[in-house]
Amino acid sequence: MIKALFWKEWCEQRWKLAYGCVLLIGFVAVGLRSRLVQDDIIIIMAAGGSSVLMALLVGMGLVATERGEGSIEMLLALPVRSWKIFAVKMAMGALVCALPIVGCMVVSLAMAGGREMSTTRIVVAYLGCVAFSIVMLVWMVAFSIRQPSEARAGLVGIGVFMGWVSAILLSMLFFKPPNWFGLVITPLGILVLTFNWMYNVLEWLVAVQLALFVCLLLWGAYRFGKEGMVKV
């Protein structure tokens, strides 16, 4: 049963995975090979850009497409708990977000590991972006789960991201560094923490972020099973 759900999600998401891999790994390979700019710029662009791009791309299609096409009702009418369907969707979504970034990491390590950046810095940068991408996916899906089309889910995703950036910028007006508010309130904190982990590991901030992540995941699962998903 779970295998069948994974198979369906895999078939629906594999094209996005292929697109993300070709686009992002290609960009990293060309950027690092050309050496027109420093390696860290290419790596930060690839890791940061891919985390947002993949979260948006995957988050738009995970639930909203099925709502738009009407196939969600068939899915929810099957003899399988709705939270299981949601869990499989999120697991596959996380995988599709993570794999292109991991692919970029492998290519970066192979082409530029230790050249200008240490291999540890490269791995940390990419894994931080994997975490960020998955967090953004969860936020986006949790808030856009009732949206009836991909376009509207995409708007919610962009709104979530811009909301984080705005919250960070606003908080900088009121808090001197280190800006705890900015780190706690938005998942961008994960990125900040990851890039600075060697200097200032703040376990409690990671714990707050994780708690928020789990709450949103549960909220998403709860809303996915509620009757608002089905037309009356």
Partner 1 sequence: MSEPVIKIEGLRFSYGSKEVLRGVDLEVPAGSIFGFLGPNGSGKTTTIKVLLGLLKAGAGVCRIGGLDSQKDVMAVRRSVGYMAEDQQMFGWMRVEQIVRWVGSFYPGWDEKFVQELLDFLELPRKSRVKTLSKGQNSRLALLLALGHRPKVVILDDPTLGLDPIARKDFLRYVIGLLQSNQVTVFFSSHLLYEIEPVADYVAILKDGVIAKAGKTDELRQSVKKILLRGAGDIELGSIAGILDVAGIGERIALTIEDYSQAKQEAIEKASKCAIVDEVDLNLDEIFEAYIIGNRGQRVQV
- How many angstroms separate the CA atoms of 192 and 185, rounded? 12
- How many angstroms separate the CA atoms of 42 and 25, rounded? 11
- By CB under 8 A, tell whether 11 contacts partner 1: yes
Number of residues that bind partner 1 (CB under 8 A): 22
- How many angstroms separate the CA atoms of 129 and 46, rounded? 10
The two structure tokens encoding residue 36: 């027109």
| Residue from the set 4, 30, 151, 207 that interacts with partner 1 by CB under 8 A | 4
Cis bond upstream, residue 79 (ω within 30): no
Instruction: Number of helices (H) and strands (E) in the chain: give both, helices first.
Output: 10, 0
- By CB under 8 A, tell whether 227 contacts partner 1: yes
Stretch binding partner 1 (CB under 8 A), from 4-12, 113-121, 133-141, 156-164: 4-12
Contacts of 6 (CB under 8 A, 6+ apart): 88, 91, 92
Stretch binding partner 1 (CB under 8 A), from 133-141, 154-162, 176-184, 223-231: 223-231
117 DSSP β-pair partners: 113
Print the binding letters for residues 72-101 with partner 1: x by CB under 8 A, - otherwise.
-xx-xxxxxx--------------------
Q: How far is the CB of 146 from partner 1 (least distance, A)?
A: 14
| Residue from the set 34, 36, 173, 232 that interacts with partner 1 by CB under 8 A | 232
Q: How far is the CB of 65 from partner 1 (least distance, A)?
A: 10
- How many angstroms separate the CA atoms of 100 and 102, rounded? 5
Q: Per CB under 8 A, which of residues 46..75 are in contact with partner 1?
A: 69-71, 73-74
Characterize 54-92 residue by residue with b for buried, 16 or more Cβ atoms within 10 angstroms of its Cβ, and e for exposed: bbbbbbbbbbbebbbeeebeebbeeeeebeebbbbbbeb
Q: How far is the CB of 1 from partner 1 (least distance, A)?
A: 6
Stretch binding partner 1 (CB under 8 A), from 3-11, 132-140, 150-158, 197-205: 3-11
Q: How far is the CB of 113 from partner 1 (least distance, A)?
A: 39
Q: Please, which residue, 10 or 181, has the CB nearer to partner 1?
A: 10
Q: Please, which residue, 82 or 119, has the CB nearer to partner 1?
A: 82
Alpha helices in 113-176 (DSSP H): 119-144, 150-174
Sites of contact with partner 1 (CB under 8 A): 1, 3-4, 7-8, 11-12, 69-71, 73-74, 76-81, 227, 230-232
